[in-house]
Amino acid sequence: MKITQFEVLDSTNSYIKRNYEKLDHFEVISTNHQTEGKGRLGRIWLDDGDSLLFSILIKNDIKMENISQLPLVVAMVIHETLYPYIPDLLIKWPNDLVVHDKKLCGILIESISSHQEIHAVVVGIGINLSTQSFPESIKETATSFFLETNQSICSSLLIKDITSKLEQELKYLNQNKSQFVSYSKKYSFLLGKKISFIKDSKIMHGIAQDIKANGNLLVKTSHEVIEISTGEVHLIK
Ligand code: BTN
């Protein structure tokens, strides 16, 4: 496994997207700081200097029909890696890792495509590792490995562990042997809870009911069951 470490990059995802042709399958790009870290849904991912920031390039082994499953597969692999340290860690569909609804890890998956053909996929992972206190604005919604465990952890071992588990899991996914649906249900933060979500530009409410084999979430509203494939989901407290 090749891991290249930088001191500063704009974004590990953007770096891979610019250079993917000369990078290897499952090559990892990691950095200590990002100046333009990207989050899901066009948001920014703030760099507090205490996070693990890395991206993995997947060039082969990825079938079009598996792309929608990838967010939960990546979330499962990270959950498996961190759960021994943080027993209250849960997966918040589609791919956040939370402890008591405070975010510990975010995942941004981007595909590199042209003419409707996917050439490669970039899996970007940000884990709050050693942050001791968060700014007031995100104090109630963010947590870190250190805050949850009072320990530090070797970041390069974590990267190696997550990346090799993902490589293995993609093989299982291609053989239809992946356990990611049952795993995501077992450790789901949302299932059975009242949530709000956006569908066709409308804010809707319902109970998160199930996760389908394709990775989509089923939500029961007052009069129908709706399948959501992506987007933002909030817990109603
Ligand atoms: C989210 O929760 O919105 C996803 C956040 C993903 C952040 C990581 S940090 C490493 C990689 N590079 C980026 O620019 N973003 C991802």
Residue 49 is classified by DSSP as S
Q: Supply the pLDDT for residue 202.
A: 87
Ligand 1 environment, Cβ below 6 A: 11-13, 34, 37-40, 43, 45, 53, 55, 96, 106-108, 124-126
Tell me, rounded to whole angstroms, the distance of Cα 149 from its chain centroid.
Answer: 21
- CA dist 130 and 204 (Å) reads 36
Domain with CATH 3.30.930.10 in the chain: 3-186
CATH number of 3-186: 3.30.930.10
Gap from CA of 4 to ligand 1 centroid (Å): 17
Most confident residue range from 42-46, 116-120, 221-225: 221-225
Nearest CA to ligand 1 atom 9: 126
Predicted confidence band of residue 199 (pLDDT cuts 50, 70, 90): confident
- CA dist 201 and 103 (Å) reads 25
Cis check: omega of the bond before 94, within 30 degrees of 0 = yes
Domain with CATH 2.30.30.100 in the chain: 194-235
For the cut 90, the answer to whether the pLDDT of residue 60 exceeds it is no
- CA dist 14 and 10 (Å) reads 7
Length of the chain, in residues: 237
Gap from CA of 107 to ligand 1 centroid (Å): 6
- CA dist 109 and 122 (Å) reads 6
User: Which of 26-40, 63-77, 143-157 is predicted with the least confidence, judged by mean pLDDT?
Assistant: 63-77
Q: Which two tokens stand for residue 34?
A: 């990002």
Average pLDDT across the chain, whole number:
93
Nearest CA to ligand 1 atom 15: 38
- CA dist 76 and 71 (Å) reads 9
Q: Supply the pLDDT for residue 200.
A: 83
Q: Supply the pLDDT for residue 47.
A: 86
For the chain, percent of residues with pLDDT exceeding 90:
79
Gap from CA of 123 to ligand 1 centroid (Å): 9
- Cα-atom radius of gyration of the chain, to the nearest Å? 17
Instruction: Write out the DSSP string of 151-218.
Output: ----HHHHHHHHHHHHHHHHHHHHTT---HHHHHHHTBSSTTSEEEEEETTEEEEEEEEEE-TTSPEE
Q: Supply the pLDDT for residue 185.
A: 97
Ligand 1, residue 37: give the atom nearest the CA. 14
Ligand 1 mutation pick, 6, 8, 14, 45, max ligand atoms within 8 A of CB:
45
Gap from CA of 35 to ligand 1 centroid (Å): 12
Predicted confidence band of residue 64 (pLDDT cuts 50, 70, 90): confident
Q: Which CATH class is domain 194-235?
A: mainly beta
